[in-house]
């Protein structure tokens, strides 16, 4: 077997390990988010029943408010039906509110409530911590290596296995 083939096998094995490890990392992030959410629940005196998709929708609304269903669907890569289902849950928990703009009474837009803003801040803080650690890890690579990594990751995103 040629050296290139061995390297490709090694990269494939690392790719599989990375996918497997991601499940564990997602669990850690979810636990950290849960801890922060519990602090907010104590402060607000209520129980929030949220999953990661719910929290990401809160983050997206907070980053882009006012925002409509179509734009949420595009930004979160979810169906409009999923957006409607999640928004109903968030409305029920008073984390978001619906509104219509003065010049457009037909279209519904979402904004965060003060409770939703608190969760948005927590999510944003956790994301920034992860991003800082990730960028620090990347400091050891040359600009050429980073350029290659960017191309490789883009190809992996577009690859249909």
Predicted confidence at residue 13, as pLDDT, reads 86
Predicted confidence at residue 160, as pLDDT, reads 81
Predicted confidence at residue 121, as pLDDT, reads 87
**pTM (two decimals):** 0.70
Topology of the domain covering 48-158: Arc Repressor Mutant, subunit A (1.10.10)
Number of neighbouring beta carbons within 10 Å of residue 115 = 20
Residue 116 CA to residue 92 CA, distance in Å, equals 12
Predicted confidence at residue 127, as pLDDT, reads 82
Q: 6: helix, coil or strand?
A: helix
Peptide bond before 158: cis, by omega within 30 degrees of 0?
A: no
Residue 80 CA to residue 78 CA, distance in Å, equals 7
Is pLDDT of 44 > 70? no
Banded pLDDT at 31 (limits 50, 70, 90): confident
Contact yes or no for 22/29 (Cβ under 8 A): no
Mean pLDDT along residues 94-107: 84
Mean pLDDT along residues 129-135: 89
What is the DSSP-derived secondary structure letter of residue 160? -
């Amino acid at each position: 077997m040629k050296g290139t083939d061995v390297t490709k096998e090694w990269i494939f094995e690392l790719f599989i390990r990375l996918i497997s490890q991601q499940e564990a990392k997602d669990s850690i992030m979810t636990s950290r988010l849960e801890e922060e959410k519990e602090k907010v629940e104590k402060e607000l005196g209520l129980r929030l029943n949220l999953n990661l998709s719910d929290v990401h929708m809160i983050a997206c609304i907070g980053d882009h408010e006012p925002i409509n269903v179509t734009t949420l669907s595009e930004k979160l890569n979810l169906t409009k039906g999923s957006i409607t289902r999640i928004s109903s849950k968030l409305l029920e928990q008073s984390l978001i509110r619906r509104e219509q703009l003065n010049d457009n009474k037909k279209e519904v837009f979402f904004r965060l409530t003060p409770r939703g803003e608190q969760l948005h801040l927590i999510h944003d803080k956790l994301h920034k911590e992860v991003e800082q650690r990730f960028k620090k890890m990347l400091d050891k690579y040359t600009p050429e290596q980073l350029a290659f990594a960017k191309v490789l990751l883009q190809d992996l995103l577009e690859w249909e296995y």
